[in-house]
Structure 1
Amino acid sequence: MKNAFTLIACCFVTLTVLAQSPKTITPLPGIDTLFNRILKDQIAAGFSVAVVRGGEVIYSKGFGYRDVENKKPVTPNTLFAIGSSSKAFTASLLGLLRKEGKLTFEDKAISLLPQLRFYNEEMNSQIILRDLMAHRTGLSRYDFSWFLFNTANRDSLIARVKYMKPTAAVREKWFYNNFMYMAQGMIVERLTGKTWEQNIKEKFFNPLEMTRSNTDINAFKNDSDASLPYIVAGENVIKKIDYYNINGMGPAGSINSSANDMANWLKVWTSGGYFKKKEILPSSYVHEAASSQMVMEAALPAKHDDVFLANYGLGWMIGSYRGHYIVEHGGNINGFSANVAFFPSDDLGIVVLSNQNGSQVPVVVRNSIADRILKLKELDWNGEAKAAAEASKLAKKSIKKAPVLKISSSHPLKDYLGSFENPAYGVIKVTLENNELHTVLGDEKIVLKHMHYDVFDPKSIDKNGLVDTTQSNLMFNFSSGVDGKIQGIGIFLDGSEKPVMFDFKPEIKIRSVKELEKYTGEYTLGKAIVKVFLKGNVLTVFVPGQPEYETETMEADTFNLKALKGFSVKFEVTAEQKVSSMTFIQPNGVFKAVKKS
């Protein structure tokens, strides 16, 4: 009887355990097979994905490799650079500051950040904080300004905005501009007394238990479960490239995170601002950020009748996905692509992170998941992306490049040396090494290969000294002045219709007052008397009826007129170091003035 009771008791315990542990139901049955096919078809190194629904992570997994060479697999905790998916974090910091009463989104941008100045006074007086957040300042991307002329100094970067000519009037047209998100990060720093990086960690990473996430390139690279960056090169070869240090532009896209960490960020947005019943963001801000603030483009239905609309909120893009409201933002930085999305009406969030440059993988995976969870007729997003990539390759192959004209340059190589500056971008310093022109763009060492005339093709040099053989789209076209000397470099940047000009920046030589005194005096120019005198330690030229022109030393006896671009004066000096005359060199001619005894 005792044994029977024991048997019954055991059965009862077993049944109880079974009742408490129902069979796990896979939320996305068979999708792993699709994801592995996507990995192969898109020639991707790896990707990680997490899905949030009902406030819970219902799926998270890694595919492929974070390190292809050493066959190290991607996990849901593997770190990836999320690029511009960082923008929603930066804008949210401003949402918190508004709640604290430290600003409004209607405040003038320059009043919140005094070192920020725009191209003209009209822009200075009109642009408000909301314009920065919704990309509606009228400034186009100017991405090469920070990408090729990188610096950790945010004040130095923001100073370039003053020289960025608008493409449209304020709020007239949507233009994506990373500088405006850096400016928001600087506003946060000014009003809190802490760095943008500290604010991100304290306001989001810590309370959201995003323990894997960081904003530092070195912490990223040294992490034991970090993915390496890759591109697809040549004939479908997965090639590792260097990490890119975003530096001062960090508020626009320097967050590194994992799928599992980003799932916690998505929980905030699908719940209306909460994480584990604690408010992270005001619900009013969540609603506003996920609402249209600016029309991006017409975005009429194209290939799919039920996919349309493209508006911008505050750090988020908004569209209509097959009858469902979608809020999302992509992210791309060297070797990485990401997409973070949520569907407010469906309590659904999806994040896809990949270590493939400019990849379609995040969107293909996101759409494939959304179709299944939202019970839509499944579309072959992978097949469409594969076909588009193949068509793009064929189109590139069919383009016949113009033959390279083997015509020598107009100057010896030494004449191209020096610094060339554009205030909206930065300085290009051209040097001579091993009888070739070199420069540095971003963190890359560049050799300038001569094409024809004064046109040079910039090619990157890797750590092993190997030169990239692919033709660049950034040809350097050197130009000469009326005196025949090299005066600038024209480069087509950021889709500009005209080349962006980098003007020769003479090395400023410090001349003593005693050295400058010999140039002073009166010079006869026709019937006019030109006076050359010292104002402090600055040689100054006065032509009757014109302002006084301060000069700066260009070379031995030649001086630039600071206020007049392309104007200079050259003094003729005898063997006895006596000045006999001066020549005005300007775009409309050369004019000689003789020194009075």
Structure 2
Amino acid sequence: MIPARAGGALLLALLTGLVADDAASELHEVVEMPPLTSIGLAVASSARVDLALAGLDAQVEAAMQRLNVPGLAVVVVAEGRVVLLRGYGWRDVQQQLPVTEHTIFPLGSATKPFTAFVLGTLADEKKVDFFVPVRRVLPSFRLWDALAGERITLADMLTHRSGLPRHDAVWYGDSGLTRAELVGRLSKLEPTARFRSRFQYSNLMFVAAGHVAEVVSGQSWEQLVRDRVLVPLGMERTGFSLAQAQALGDVARPYRDREHEIVRAPFRDVTLIAPAGGLWSSADDLGRWLQMLLARGTWQGRQLIDEGTLTALMRPITPTRLATDDKALSQAYYGLGWFVDTYRGRLRAYHGGNLDGFTALVTLLPNEKIGVAVLANAGGTGLPEALVRTVADRLLGRSGQDWLGRAALLREAAWGVRSHLKEIRAKRRLTPSAPALPVARYAGRYTNPGYGDLLIVENGAALEMIYNRIHSPLEHWHFETFNVGSSEDPSFEDVKLTFSLDDATHATSVAVPFEPSASPIVFRRADPPAAAVDWPADGFGSFQDGATVVSVSRRDERAWLSWPGVAEGELVPVWTDEARIAGRPPVRIRYAPATSSRPPSLIAFTTDAVRVADRVP
């Protein structure tokens, strides 16, 4: 813990990694290991590898405790084989269910290399070319910058140089869009840099690249990944959605660190943007993925991707401008789906992933034939990166740097920075002040061409924001600005909404800083959705959730839900096809009309799971 009176120089040193090794040695003693290099190889023999990893378990368990990480799954590949495959801690803290090598975690953005890999196989088949304009295969593709939309290539998309910032709020939650519709929204999103001028990380560009793969192949992105990666490698515990993961079983629960306390986080399903971050997998399955990549695209005698194509995916292209003072690292670049730098002078390709309550990291030292994947059910933790470096140092015969101890110190420093920023934000609040209008005058539907609809609804004497089906309570901040308060879903916590008024009788628009690198996104008032006042007529009747009978009936002209094990109460519509349970905001119920493949159904979203009940014939 950093003393309250610690100087700014120490804090800066911690945040930039400039901490003496002995200052971070509280966690464990660094043991000198003999070098494993022989004729340029990082690993000399199975026995030496096993010796190099001896004692790692104790380090990991101590680091998990200090970094407040409930559970962890690790796989290490060297010498063409899995040399470590293990689970640590709990996948479910409350029920004391352990993490195993088969426990499923979301990969988040560590999905991106899978998308690049699939596109690489399509390039091998001459179905795509990374360096020709996307318009040649997707004529309808447009961007805000017309010239960029005309010239952008798959390589531009996959190396984050489109000029577009993240704009992640467009898809976060459940926008109700299809993948094609989301790609169509790109022309309505303002860039913050010139085309090809600099690195700006964009999940949306990977969604667009995945959509290109779908168009040229005639298959869904999911089917492409299944046929070209999962089935050949036997990755049987890898899926494409939260629902699929839960059907497979043994799924880790998400947790976040709140004021040094581990608390549950809501599950987040990101199926819409799956090409950017939608895979769920286990350490055991990722071991197969690592072995194939380190074997230059071969698996059990079969070449899944051309060796030259795979090499090209990991070639540095776009400088990230992510500065580092760490002598072990070089300047980071982004290749085609991979971050690329050098670690202790050795080529490193890697990708992390962060989803609510989870952190993942997949790392390759391709020339040394070393691969490491770490999955944690803690949001934003530095443990995976520290553990990868620790394992790499052991296998490379390096010592002297306590990465795990330093990660713990950095966490403490980060808490200090957060506390300081919170104090700064509080000082910017102008009090006393009051809104110009009664809260009812702010309520309504607001819309933006790129971001879609945002609802402001009355919730008793207060207001609530509903965006992409995420419900966020609003508290008055000052004048016409409202702040998103704490709730079960903290996605937009502390975001400030500022309303504009007409003649002081109604709010005409609301500006929301959804994209930090751009001007606030302006939503203009629109007519309220006509169907948002009644539960759909077809949504009444009996449904079946496994052996559980679910019913929606009328009571005093109101829709009433009875779903044993989920909720019982009045359905209060908040959208054309969605309602919440009166008195239980965390529970949301959606009606899904019949499709060609399934009957009408009810979908229940709780903080713990997604449940589906099909209509009883």
TM over 0.5: yes
Cα gap change, 1:177 to 1:24, in 2 (>3 Å): closer
Cα gap change, 1:334 to 1:28, in 2 (>3 Å): same
- Is 2:199 the counterpart of 1:180? no
Contact 1:444 1:461 in 2 (8 A): no
- Pairwise mapping of residues 147-546 of structure 1 onto structure 2 (< 5 A)? 147-148=172-173, 150-234=175-259, 236-297=260-321, 299=323, 301-302=324-325, 304-399=326-421, 400=423, 401-402=426-427, 403=429, 405-459=431-485, 461-462=487-488, 472-481=493-502, 485-496=506-517, 498-507=519-528
Amino acid at match of 1:274: T
Instruction: Report the secondary structure of 1:308's partner residue.
Output: coil
Deviation digits for residues 224-268 of structure 1, max 9, x if unmatched? 31101110112x211111110113111100100011101111112
Question: What is the aligned length?
Answer: 482
Amino acid at match of 1:457: N
Distance 1:92 1:65 in 2: 32
Amino acid at match of 1:230: Y
Instruction: Report the secondary structure of 2:485's partner residue.
Output: strand
- With normalisation by structure 1, the TM-score equals 0.77
Amino acid at match of 1:412: P
Instruction: Report the secondary structure of 1:488's partner residue.
Output: strand
Greater RCO (CA < 8 Å, at least 6 residues apart): 2
Deviation digits for residues 24-79 of structure 1, max 9, x if unmatched? 95550111111111111111011111111121101111111101111111111110
Amino acid at match of 2:304: I
Which residue does 1:55 correspond to in 2? 80
Q: 2:117 aligns with which of 74, 78, 92?
A: 92
Which residue does 2:61 correspond to in 1? 36
Cα gap change, 1:378 to 1:279, in 2 (>3 Å): farther
Deviation digits for residues 128-151 of structure 1, max 9, x if unmatched? 121111111111111122115633
Distance 1:23 1:388 in 2: 32
Amino acid at match of 2:523: F
Distance 1:424 1:378 in 2: 51
Distance 2:294 2:316 in 1: 17
Cα gap change, 1:46 to 1:443, in 2 (>3 Å): farther
Post-superposition offset of 1:444? 2.8
Instruction: Report the secondary structure of 2:171's partner residue.
Output: helix
Distance 1:479 1:328 in 2: 45
Instruction: Report the secondary structure of 1:226's partner residue.
Output: coil
Which residue does 1:118 correspond to in 2? 143
Distance 2:49 2:486 in 1: 52
Contact 2:316 2:335 in 1 (8 A): yes
Amino acid at match of 1:411: L
Distance 1:22 1:167 in 2: 53
Cα gap change, 1:471 to 1:317, in 2 (>3 Å): closer
Amino acid at match of 1:409: P
Cα gap change, 1:427 to 1:354, in 2 (>3 Å): same
Distance 2:519 2:212 in 1: 33
Contact 2:124 2:305 in 1 (8 A): no
Post-superposition offset of 1:171? 1.4
Contact 1:115 1:155 in 2 (8 A): no
Q: Percent same amino acid among aligned pairs?
A: 28
Cα gap change, 1:77 to 1:386, in 2 (>3 Å): same
Post-superposition offset of 1:351? 0.5
Distance 1:204 1:287 in 2: 17
Amino acid at match of 1:107: V
Cα gap change, 1:472 to 1:446, in 2 (>3 Å): closer
Distance 2:48 2:220 in 1: 48
Distance 2:529 2:103 in 1: 50
Post-superposition offset of 1:113? 2.5
Contact 1:152 1:247 in 2 (8 A): no
Distance 1:117 1:22 in 2: 56
Distance 1:298 1:335 in 2: 24
Deviates more, 1:479-488 or 1:495-504: 479-488
In the alignment, structure 2 segments of 5+ residues that lack a partner are: 1-45, 531-617
Cα gap change, 1:71 to 1:26, in 2 (>3 Å): farther
- With normalisation by structure 2, the TM-score equals 0.74
Cα gap change, 1:287 to 1:368, in 2 (>3 Å): same
Contact 2:514 2:521 in 1 (8 A): yes
Cα gap change, 1:22 to 1:436, in 2 (>3 Å): closer
Distance 1:256 1:439 in 2: 30
Query: What RMSD, in angstroms, separates the aligned Cα atoms of the two structures?
Result: 2.3
